[in-house]
Structure 1
Amino acid sequence: MTPPARQSTREQRRRQTRERILGAAIAEFTSSGMAHADIDTIAAAAGVAHGTFFFHFPSKEHVLLELEAREEARMATEFGRYLDGAPDLASTLDHVVALITGLERRLGPSLFKEFLALHFSPTRPAADEWTDHPLIVLLVREIERARGDGKVPPEVDAFYSATFFLLGVYGVLTTTSNTDSRGAMLTGLVTTALRGLEAR
C-alpha cells in the first residue's frame, strides 16, 4: 500500500500539472481562439506530453468548462458578500452588470465570447441545470426576497426575470464594442428590468 505522504505528493504534482495545462490552454485560446488552438502548443507551453493534456481535459471544451466553474464560483462569492449588505434591487442589478463586465475585462473580449458560446451551446459537453450556476441562483433568490418583501409583485417569475436580465447583459457585451453605447445600453437594461420587477 502506498504511504499517505507519497499519495499526497503525487496528488499535489497532479494538481500542479493540471494548473499549468489550464494556464497554457487559456493563453492559447486567447491568442488563437478555441477552435484554432493547438494541443501540441498547449502541451509544450505546459511542459507536458501531448497525451497528458487529454488525461486532465478530455477536450478543449472541458478547459473552458473548468474556467467557467472557477469564474462562476469567484463571482458568486463576491456577489454573496455584496448581498450581505442588503442592497436594493437597483444596486443589485448594477452589481451583477459590474461583475460580468469585470469578467469580460479579465478574460478579454475574444475569450469572453468563447466562454459564452460554450455556455449556451447545445453540444456543451456537460449537461447541467440552472441551479448548477451559482450567480443566477443568487440573483433568483434576491428577486424572490424582494418579492417576499412586497417590492416585487407576486406574479413575477424570479427565474425568468433573472435569466432574461443576464441574457440581456451578455447580449450587449458580445454585440456592442463602443464603450459609450454599451454603457448606455447596460444602464437602460437595468432601468427596463426594474420597471418589469417593481410593484405596481
Structure 2
Amino acid sequence: MTPHVRPSSRALRRMQTRERILGAAIAEFRIAGMAGADVNAIVTAAGVAHGTFFFHFPSKEHVLLELESREEARMAAEFTRFLDVRHDLTTVLTEVVGLVTRLEERFGPVLFKEILALHFSPTRPNRDEWTDHPLIVLLVREIERARGDGAGDHPEVDAFYSAAFFLLGIYGVLTTTTNSKTRDTMLAQHVASVRRGLTMKEN
C-alpha cells in the first residue's frame, strides 16, 4: 500500500491560489462570458498578480476546461450512485436530463453556453476521445445493458451514437428554449423519442 504523502506548504499554497483564480474566473464568466471576461478583474478578485493567472491557466479556455472536467467528474459520481439501484432505461434517460438541467441551474445560462461552446469547438485545447468523458461512458454502458436485457433490441442501434444524440438533444433544448413548461415538454418528448428509437425494429 502506497503511503499517503501530504503536499508541501508551497504546493498547498499553489493549490489554494489556483482555486482562488478559478473561483474568480467563474464568477467573471457568469457575468461577461469567456470572451468578454477581463483577466485584470479576475486577478484583482483573486488577489494575485496578472502573470499568476497565466502560470496556472495558459488561456481563459483552460479555465473552462478545468471547470468542465470537475463538473463531469461530479456528475458522473452522482450518476454512478443513482445506478447503484437498477432502473429501466426511461428512468435512466430522465435522470440524465435532470443532471444536465441542474448543471445549467448551477452555472447560469451564460456560463452553461460557454462550456458547451468550448466542448464542441473544433479549436478546443486538448482534444480528447469520448471515452475520456465519464458521463457518456456510463450512459453508453446503460444503453448496452438495456439492449442486453431486451429493452433496446433494434439491430442497428449504436450505443455511443445514441448516447451522443440524446445529450446533444438536451443541450439543444436548454440553449434555445427559455420557457420552463415548453422545456419540460420538449425534454420529456426527447426522452420518449430516443427510447422508442432504441427499441423500434425495422420491418
Match of 2:37 in 1: 37
Q: Distance in 1 between matches of 2:174 and 2:200?
A: 29
User: Structure 1: where are the runs of 5+ without partners?
Assistant: none
Q: Distance in 1 between matches of 2:150 and 2:181?
A: 35
Q: Does 1:98 align with 2:101?
A: no
**1:13 alignment partner AA:** R
- TM-score, length basis structure 2: 0.94
1:89–1:146 contact (8 Å) kept in structure 2:
yes
1:20–1:46 contact (8 Å) kept in structure 2:
yes
Q: Distance in 1 between matches of 2:34 and 2:137?
A: 28
**1:11 alignment partner AA:** A
1:151–1:199 contact (8 Å) kept in structure 2:
no
Q: Does 1:74 align with 2:74?
A: yes
Match of 1:186 in 2: 187
Displacement after TM superposition at 1:155 (Å)? 3.0
Q: Distance in 2 between matches of 1:61 and 1:147?
A: 38
Please list every run of at least 4 consecutive aligned residues from structure 1 whose deviation after the TM superposition is greater than 3 angstroms: none
Q: Distance in 1 between matches of 2:200 and 2:111?
A: 39
SS in 2 for 1:127: coil
SS in 1 for 2:62: helix
SS in 2 for 1:62: helix
- TM-score, length basis structure 1: 0.95
**Percent identity of the aligned residues?**
70
**1:108 alignment partner AA:** G
1:22–1:63 contact (8 Å) kept in structure 2:
yes
**1:189 alignment partner AA:** H
**1:46 alignment partner AA:** A
Q: Does 1:158 align with 2:148?
A: no
Q: Distance in 2 between matches of 1:99 and 1:32?
A: 25
State the Cα RMSD in Å.
Answer: 1.2
User: Structure 2: where are the runs of 5+ without partners?
Assistant: none
For residues 18-29 of structure 1, the aligned pairs below 5 Å read 18-29=18-29
Q: Distance in 1 between matches of 2:189 and 2:29?
A: 32
Aligned residues: 196
* Superimposed CA distance per residue, residues 41-76 of structure 1 (whole angstroms, 9 cap, x where no aligned partner): 100100000000000000000000000000000000
